[in-house]
Amino acid sequence: MDTENLALIIIDVQKAFDDKKWGERNNLSAEENISKILAFWRDKGWRVIHIQHMSDNPQSVFYPKNEGFVIKEMVKPLEAELVITKKVNSSFIGTNLEEFLKLNNIANLVITGLTTPHCVSTTTRMSGNLGFNTYLISDATAAFGMKDQNDNYYDAELIHNTSLATLNDEFATILTTEELINQII
């Protein structure tokens, strides 16, 4: 992996995802793995970008005045790290992320965060489509179980793995935390 022009993107690691309304979740170690990658990144002095989902709806767990809006302590941004708020699934839509990356000659993105089939997947797809060398860290993201249009339930592990499969080799290179760190060292 080319460590020149490299950035870590941490998507929506917010207290909102601790709410029981989401149901069953896979990979309960996702935040721990993100924290491990973040510590490694900070040690190297590389760029970190935090993405924070924000809702305009006061009833939403992502509303800025609600506790769920807060980024979890284990990945809390440092003052020097960029925090970008977004209102849709893609971290690129309605934000200055693409402009910031291009202005700073960042061509290589490592993506982590929550949740795999939603904001992580959408951001990863756009990253690949925009021409960035994109790496998605499979054990540094997680999914919740969900129902389809026919009320069939799919467990969190299936949703997670299927989401990764749809991104693999077309939009991103899928790595584990260990593979990422070993490839960079």
Predicted pLDDT at 40: 97
Beta bridge partner(s), residue 112? 10
What is 6-184's CATH number? 3.40.50.850
Which residue do the tokens 């990253």 mark? 127
Indicate the pLDDT class of residue 2, thresholds 50, 70 and 90. confident
Three-state SS sequence of 64-107: CCCHHHCECHHHCCCCCCEEEEECCCCCCCCCCHHHHHHHCCCC
Residue extents of the structural domains in the chain = 6-184
The pTM score is 0.97
CA gap 158, 179 in Å, rounded: 22
**Per-residue pLDDT tens over the stretch 25-61:** 999 999 999 999 999 999 999 999 999 999 999 999 9
The answer to whether residues 27 and 141 touch, using CB atoms and an 8 Å cutoff, is: yes
Predicted pLDDT at 4: 75
| DSSP assigned state of 34 | H
Predicted pLDDT at 1: 72
**Per-residue pLDDT tens over the stretch 73-113:** 999 999 999 999 999 999 999 999 999 999 999 999 999 99
